[in-house]
């Protein structure tokens, strides 16, 4: 019965040790095969018990042998999972106790007298081993708690990284979708810009053609006068030649009459030449206006240029409306110096300003004011600093204050739909300010008239 109680006590104590060790080291996860193996920790105890009964071994060393076997199993388990830091600490904790148990068992087996003689030493050693074991078990528990905290932190960090990765994936997907959308919008805007540029080029060309049409109408009316003179003087000259031939065939020729006829003929030919040159000048101006600007600058007399385009614009409007009449006032500075400019470009500017002026006075005339006299004025002036100033004034409808700041913007027009493209003043502003480094300003009173002021550097 003594052997029975001792062995079963040792087996019960081993069960507690194995259970605690499995939980502490988390053996089912770290070493599942080893965990299943140590479930048979009770086998050595039962074997020893049966062996003692068989040979009638009545010794008090049976529990010590089983304890040593149990400690050996614990050491083997700790060696297998020594990559786990608390396991290494536990291995260090049980090593002195295992060493003490081996020495005590061997000493008792070899000589019981030796064991009794040094019992005090063995008791002290056992106490030291137990204190060492408890101390390092506590250290191992602290390490396990610390590792558990680190594990929780790592899991939290890993969870946070996964959440961040998921958010990044969502953001990347959103960015990709947004990028694709922006790319599509960019392509659409690029396409719209190309269409806008094409439309703008077409509108500019339409504005030039409209300007050319107005100029052509003025030229057709203006060129009619010199052509009529050429025709009339040609007919008169032909009659003079016929009279001269008849006089030469008479037997009593009148020398004085022949000289008078020749003088008249010479005078007619001079007038034909003069009006022919005038017609050629008008045609040349039309060709210069119709062709693209070369940008070549040359000395330009602004008085001549302004007078020519004023009359061309006026006759162009009269070609459309025979009932329209207006007073043309010119105040040209006699001391105006020529400036280095692109004459055909400035001609387009003046033609635009004159056309707008005649349009404004015509619209005011249509309002039915009885005492209203349409008047368009052009004045040039030499400024003290050497610059040249051109003022184009009308007494038409004027420009409302709300739209006065917009009149030089492209495609902005105060005319009804179909009567203007909104590019005339914009092109004129660019020609004056950008191409000739000048200024183009406007002063207007609604219902009273408008004045455009061009300043060109010398």
Average pLDDT over the chain, rounded to an integer: 76
355 in any annotated domain: yes
259 in any annotated domain: no
Q: Higher model confidence: residue 324 or residue 126?
A: 324
Return the minimum-mean-pLDDT range out of 33-37, 50-54, 146-150. Answer: 50-54
Q: Higher model confidence: residue 97 or residue 393?
A: 393
Using CA atoms, how far apart are residues 240 and 263, in angstroms rounded to an integer? 10
Residue 429 pLDDT greater than 90, yes or no = no
Q: What angle do CA 91, 34, 52 make, to 5 degrees?
A: 80
Mean pLDDT of the region 346-372: 87
Looking at residue 248, what is its pLDDT?
Answer: 78
What residues contact 113, with CB distance under 8 A and at least 6 apart? none
| End position of a domain, from candidates 97, 117, 137 | 117
Domain CATH number, residue 456:
3.30.565.10
Considering the entire predicted model, what is its pTM? Answer: 0.45
| pLDDT > 90 fraction of the chain, expressed in percent and rounded | 10
Looking at residue 229, what is its pLDDT?
Answer: 72
Q: Higher model confidence: residue 374 or residue 62?
A: 374
Q: What DSSP line would sit under 64-128, residue for residue?
A: HHHHHHHHHHHHHHHHHTTTSHHHHHHHHHHHHHHHHHHHHHHHHHH-HHHHHHTHHHHHHHHHH
Domain count, the chain: 2
Mean pLDDT of the region 314-326: 79
| pLDDT > 70 fraction of the chain, expressed in percent and rounded | 67
Q: Where are the strands (E) in 365-438, listed by range?
A: 375-382, 388-394
Using CA atoms, how far apart are residues 397 and 360, in angstroms rounded to an integer? 5
pLDDT confidence bin for 195, thresholds 50/70/90: confident
Looking at residue 1, what is its pLDDT?
Answer: 41
Q: Higher model confidence: residue 63 or residue 366?
A: 366
By residue range, what is the domain housing residue 22?
2-117
Residue 173 pLDDT greater than 80, yes or no = yes
Using CA atoms, how far apart are residues 91 and 133, in angstroms rounded to an integer? 9
| End position of a domain, from candidates 78, 100, 117 | 117
Residue 92 pLDDT greater than 90, yes or no = no
Mean pLDDT of the region 79-95: 73
| End position of a domain, from candidates 117, 152, 171 | 117
How many CB atoms are closer than 10 A to CB 144? Answer: 20
Mean pLDDT of the region 208-218: 59
Q: Is 387 helix (H, G, I), strand (E, B) or coil?
A: coil
180 in any annotated domain: no
389 in any annotated domain: yes
Most confident of 71-80, 104-113, 240-249: 240-249
Q: Give the position of tokens 């032909």.
A: 238
411 in any annotated domain: yes
Using CA atoms, how far apart are residues 236 and 239, in angstroms rounded to an integer? 5
Q: Higher model confidence: residue 403 or residue 108?
A: 403
66 in any annotated domain: yes
10 in any annotated domain: yes
285 in any annotated domain: no
């Amino acid at each position: 019965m003594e052997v029975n109680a001792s062995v079963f006590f040792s087996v019960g104590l081993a069960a507690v040790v194995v259970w605690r060790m499995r939980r502490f080291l988390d053996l089912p996860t770290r070493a599942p095969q080893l965990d299943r193996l140590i479930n048979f920790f009770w086998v050595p105890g039962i074997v020893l018990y049966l062996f003692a009964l068989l040979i009638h071994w009545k010794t008090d060393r049976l529990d010590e042998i089983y304890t040593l076997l149990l400690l050996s199993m614990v050491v083997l388990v700790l060696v297998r999972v020594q990559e786990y830091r608390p396991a290494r600490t536990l291995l260090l904790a049980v090593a002195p106790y295992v060493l003490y148990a081996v020495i005590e068992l061997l000493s008792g087996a070899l000589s019981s007298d030796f064991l009794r003689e040094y019992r005090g030493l063995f008791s002290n050693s056992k106490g030291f081993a137990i204190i060492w074991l408890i101390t390092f078990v506590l250290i191992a528990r602290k390490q396990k708690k610390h590792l558990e905290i680190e594990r929780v932190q790592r899991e939290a960090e890993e969870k946070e990284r996964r959440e961040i990765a998921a958010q990044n994936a969502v953001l990347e997907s959103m960015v990709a979708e947004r990028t694709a959308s922006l790319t599509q919008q960019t392509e659409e805007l690029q396409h719209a810009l190309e269409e806008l540029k094409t439309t703008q080029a077409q509108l500019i060309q339409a504005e030039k053609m409209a300007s050319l049409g107005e100029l052509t109408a003025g030229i057709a009316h203006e060129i009619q006068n010199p052509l009529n003179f050429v025709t009339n003087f040609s007919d008169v000259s032909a009659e003079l030649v016929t009279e001269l031939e008849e006089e030469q065939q008479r037997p009593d020729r009148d020398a004085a009459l022949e000289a008078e006829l020749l003088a008249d003929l010479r005078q007619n030919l001079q007038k034909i030449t003069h009006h022919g040159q005038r017609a050629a000048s008008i045609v040349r101006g039309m060709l210069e206006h119709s062709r693209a600007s070369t940008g070549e600058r040359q000395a330009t007399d602004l008085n001549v240029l302004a007078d020519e385009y004023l009359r061309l614009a006026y006759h162009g409007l009269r070609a459309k409306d025979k009932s329209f009449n207006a007073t043309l006032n010119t105040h040209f500075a006699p001391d105006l110096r020529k400036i280095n400019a692109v004459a055909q470009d400035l001609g387009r500017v003046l033609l635009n300003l004159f056309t707008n002026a005649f349009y404004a006075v015509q619209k005011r005339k249509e309002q039915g004011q009885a005492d209203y006299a349409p008047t368009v004025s052009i004045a040039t002036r030499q400024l003290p600093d050497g610059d040249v100033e051109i003022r184009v004034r009308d007494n038409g409808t004027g420009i409302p204050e709300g739209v006065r700041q917009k009149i030089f913007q492209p495609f902005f027009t105060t005319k009804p739909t179909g009567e203007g493209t909104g590019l005339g003043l914009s092109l004129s502003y660019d020609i004056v300010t950008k191409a000739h480094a000048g200024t183009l300003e406007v002063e207007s009173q609604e219902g009273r008239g408008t004045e455009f002021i061009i300043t060109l550097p010398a």
